[in-house]
A and B are shown apart, each in its own frame.
Chain A
């Protein structure tokens, strides 16, 4: 029987949860890196035992951790004395060193004034679809980095930050972060990223050059609501079999594109609120989409005290509430943008984690839910690996 491994990043450490394909009985290991914020943990699709984690704190900054045994043990790659010297004895980069290429320059601060680009943390790690040593990092202040040596060293794909609009990007309340990276499985040099609060961008050449992909987005909080950039995109998702179709959860509005992000249209439909953070797509049906609405941009908790995942089987517009097994009273949690995932078992499993420390699983596409654990620290991210026996 297949197994699943759920990788949970929380405000106080990482947890690795495993179960067989029934997804009923869970073994929970952790906390790894106890006391640190673990923004993201993700495994390589090429080598499922290779995991990368973003470990950070306001005190000590950023650490990249790597496991080569499925999360049992971890080491910061490129941080031993031996790894830090080339054969000639010259010092090499460190795995926690993210340096903007060239002159970092400025973006706009909250008050519109120029503000230096400053690295703060890694928000998202996206391992390559083809090479276990290649991994992309989305960081704050928004930029994209790539490692081609298993996380030992990082180089910026500076074409994104140097986009013509880069100097005008501004942070949202949570910082100016590149939080989502999608790789087209049919053409891995094509990628999309989402930045709060700049918007969505696409590359066709592996990250050398980028185009903005925000046409059709309307953000009423902006002086020019349909501007090229400035939209607070919370998350984008796609199904691998249909890479030109993208779904977006924005700061208000659920959106869809069928032309790889060239244009977007709203599919919020009958949602009780179209504000939220995560969005994901059923592993086997590109028209089945999941969101978790929260009440408003200032009330970051689910409406009416009811934890409800919403599913559309029509690619948006028509949404149904999924509640079986989820608390329906006195529940005031949020689900952050990287805290939802799907597995690829025949009966697709859906997973999400809450700011209240609960991690839920549905082994049947959302019809029924149960808790993997209810007392984790506040959950920042959830990823799941489907493992063959």
Chain B
């Protein structure tokens, strides 16, 4: 989302009359983190990240971990990058945890209208 006037990246492209191959392929993605990871990374309820196309769970988490290295290993396993078992990913109201991590995220996430949600989905403790 263009933080200046809240229009989506595609709307910005259209307004400015930019045509391929000069299309903007960098997106501002919102990520909502669970309470304990917010504390660990010392961030607020949401973080905003620049993510280059393709925008998918894998590239969003790559950007998140680059910006906040303390989160490495806390959402996905270090070596395998497998999602940690007690965490789930939600996008546009859907649980996408079982989708391949390189599957494109919904437009509402790419356009910044909604955050990708990382949720500690198992109760207990």
Do these two chains really belong together in a complex? yes
Residues on the B chain within 8 Å of A58, using CB: 86, 122, 125
Complex alpha-carbon distance, A99 and B80, angstroms: 11
A92 to B: closest C-beta gap in Å? 10
In the complex, residue of chain A having the shortest beta-carbon distance to the beta carbon of B66:
A81
Complex alpha-carbon distance, A59 and B124, angstroms: 10
Contact indicator B69/A79 (Cβ below 8 Å): yes
A105 at the interface (CB under 8 A from B): no
A 75-113 to B, binary, CB cutoff 8 A, 1 in contact else 0: 010011100100000000010110100000000000000
Residues on the B chain within 8 Å of A62, using CB: 73
Contact indicator A99/B86 (Cβ below 8 Å): no
A356 at the interface (CB under 8 A from B): no
B74's partner among A60, A80, A84, A99 (CB-CB below 8 A) is: A60
Q: Secondary structure of the B side of the interface? A: loop
| Interface size grouping (class) on chain A | 10 to 19
Residues on the B chain within 8 Å of A97, using CB: 72-73, 78
A35 at the interface (CB under 8 A from B): yes
Complex alpha-carbon distance, A97 and B70, angstroms: 11
B 46-74 to A, binary, CB cutoff 8 A, 1 in contact else 0: 00000000000000000000110110111
CB contact under 8 A between A80 and B36, given known A58-B86, A59-B84, A99-B78: no
In the complex, residue of chain A having the shortest beta-carbon distance to the beta carbon of B70:
A79
Complex alpha-carbon distance, A120 and B69, angstroms: 20
| Interface size grouping (class) on chain B | 20 to 34
Contact indicator A94/B72 (Cβ below 8 Å): yes
Complex alpha-carbon distance, A89 and B47, angstroms: 25
Residues on the B chain within 8 Å of A30, using CB: none
B103 to A: closest C-beta gap in Å? 23
A376 at the interface (CB under 8 A from B): no
A63 at the interface (CB under 8 A from B): yes
Residues on the B chain within 8 Å of A60, using CB: 36-37, 40, 74-75, 84, 87, 120
Contact indicator A76/B70 (Cβ below 8 Å): yes
Contact indicator A59/B87 (Cβ below 8 Å): yes
Complex alpha-carbon distance, A76 and B41, angstroms: 10
Q: Which of A29-77 contact B (CB under 8 A)?
A: 35-36, 57-63, 76
A357 to B: closest C-beta gap in Å? 16
CB contact under 8 A between A61 and B69, given known A35-B36, A36-B36, A99-B79: no
19 intermolecular pairs with C-beta atoms under 8 Å apart: A35-B36, A36-B36, A57-B36, A58-B122, A59-B34, A60-B74, A60-B87, A60-B120, A61-B73, A61-B74, A61-B77, A76-B70, A79-B69, A80-B69, A81-B69, A94-B72, A94-B78, A97-B72, A97-B73
Q: Which A residues are within 8 Å of any B CB, using their own CB?
A: 35-36, 57-63, 76, 79-81, 84, 94, 96-97, 99
Q: A61-B73, A63-B40 are in contact. List 18 more A-B contacts (CB 8 A).
A: A35-B36, A57-B125, A58-B122, A59-B86, A59-B87, A60-B74, A60-B75, A60-B84, A61-B77, A63-B74, A76-B40, A76-B70, A80-B69, A80-B70, A81-B67, A84-B69, A94-B73, A96-B74
